[in-house]
Structure 1
Amino acid sequence: LKDGNSRMNSIDTPMHVWRDVFQVNFFAPIMLARGLFRELASAKGSIVNVTSIAGTRVHPFAGTAYATSKAALGSLTREMAHDFGPHGIRVNAIAPGEIDTAILSPGTEKIVETIPLRRLGTTAEVADIIFFLCSQQASYVTGSEIHINGGQHV
């Protein structure tokens, strides 16, 4: 953060930060999926990408590089569902909002006041959705992005 209070915006964020963020959030998921393609096809596997609420709206804490990398991953998820589907591989994404973890940003309590369910999500709630997407109960679900944010996206 340039002044300690503002987000990393599209004007001031150094390009090396953009590259680092996209490497982790965008390129790593497709590299892993491609690298494990044969195993995934053999197992009729399921891929769950992790996007973010920041990928669909300007977020007070998430920087521009992070937000756009997560938006790009949402689009990549749909493209992967199209390409991997004929091989029996389902590809979906989850888009968490504010989840109660050790890395909460200062000021999160102000955001909680605007969330329709008026609370943070739990890691167990996120894990339950991932488990569902990988299960046979979701055998006809692919190309979807599920919001896990207590209605924060509405």
Structure 2
Amino acid sequence: MGTLAGKVALVIGGTRGIGAAISRRMASDGASVAIIYLSRSAEAESFGSELSGQGAAVCMIQADVGDPGALTDAIDKAVLHFGRLDVLVNVAGMAIVSPLDAYADDAFDRIFALNVRAPFLAAQKASGVMEAGGRIITIGSIVADRMPANGGTLYAASKAALGGMTRGLARDLGERGITANLVQPGPIDTERNPADGPNAAANRTPLAIPRHGTANEVASLVAYLASPDAGFVTGATYNIDGGWSA
């Protein structure tokens, strides 16, 4: 029996990269897993079939979580399918990188809609159906603490907002026995930021451990925060960044 046996986990943005590793770990720890994804439907369905083939109960839901109505409908589908919700992991996000004077007029609204509003609405909706022992875990970014280059003002601002949101959720939900925590990865070897990509060497320059992290390492930290062992951990920010912030 895994640490999450009998639990239901919802992973928003859970089919690729860090999100896929988290979905796999939730399933291997015994949870039934609902996964919300945006696009690349064939790949997403193949991923769902992979988890199902390993014995996991899986519910795949396509939705644009930047749209509040689509997001809440998707969460309703997950709860209806499994009958409960115990763990919410917000992974989906986007980066818009631009010189300060060249951001598109809608850049602020677009990035905050996905990186801040969506995790807030998901936490608000999910916490309404969670029982004591519920877990809300948000994946942010180490750039919330340290911005190493030009062009990332909006991205850094959106990720920094998640720290305050997490601390507020911890206060709002603590009396109900629901925890809220934030995970801030540094450079992680994924399709979006490959360890052999054109920016990889520069990404490793600030690190104490001179390599990219792995998606499975992030998933292991999330698994701890989702587990019963983390019942007294809330409102915390965990950097998993190879010493980027040291």
**1:53 has 2:146 as partner:** no
Corresponding residue for residue 37 of structure 1: 127
Amino acid at match of 2:159: K
Within 5 Å, give how 1:34-113 maps onto structure 2: 34-40=124-130, 42-60=131-149, 63-104=152-193, 106-113=198-205
- The unaligned stretches of length 5 or more in structure 1 are 1-6
Do the aligned residues in 1 keep the contact of 2:100 with 2:151 (CA within 8 Å)?
no
Match of 2:227 among 132, 135, 140: 135
- The unaligned stretches of length 5 or more in structure 2 are 1-96
Would you say how many aligned residue pairs link Structure 1 and Structure 2?
147
Alpha carbons of structure 1 residues 93 and 140: separation in structure 2 relative to 1, 3 Å:
same
Percent of residue pairs identical: 34
Match of 2:106 among 6, 10, 16: 16
Higher strand share: 2
Do the aligned residues in 1 keep the contact of 2:180 with 2:234 (CA within 8 Å)?
yes
Give distance in 2, aligned partners of 1:110 and 1:48: 29
Comparing 30-39 with 141-150, greater Cα deviation is found at 30-39
Comparing 60-69 with 98-107, greater Cα deviation is found at 60-69
- Deviating beyond 4 angstroms after TM superposition, the runs of 4 or more aligned structure 1 residues are none
Give distance in 2, aligned partners of 1:77 and 1:26: 11
User: 1:36, CA displacement in angstroms?
Assistant: 1.6
Give distance in 1, aligned partners of 2:174 and 2:147: 31
Corresponding residue for residue 3 of structure 1: none
User: 1:130, CA displacement in angstroms?
Assistant: 0.3
Could you say what the CA RMSD is over the residues aligned between the two structures, in angstroms?
Answer: 1.6
Give distance in 1, aligned partners of 2:167 and 2:100: 25
User: 1:93, CA displacement in angstroms?
Assistant: 0.4
The structure, 1 or 2, with the larger RCO (C-alpha pairs under 8 Å, 6+ apart) is: 1
- TM-score normalized with structure 1 length: 0.88
User: 1:106, CA displacement in angstroms?
Assistant: 2.8
Comparing 108-117 with 144-153, greater Cα deviation is found at 108-117
Task: Kindly provide the CA deviation profile for residues 41-63 of structure 1, in whole angstroms up to 9, marking residues without a partner as x.
Answer: x2521000111111111133762
Do the aligned residues in 1 keep the contact of 2:142 with 2:186 (CA within 8 Å)?
yes
Amino acid at match of 1:76: M
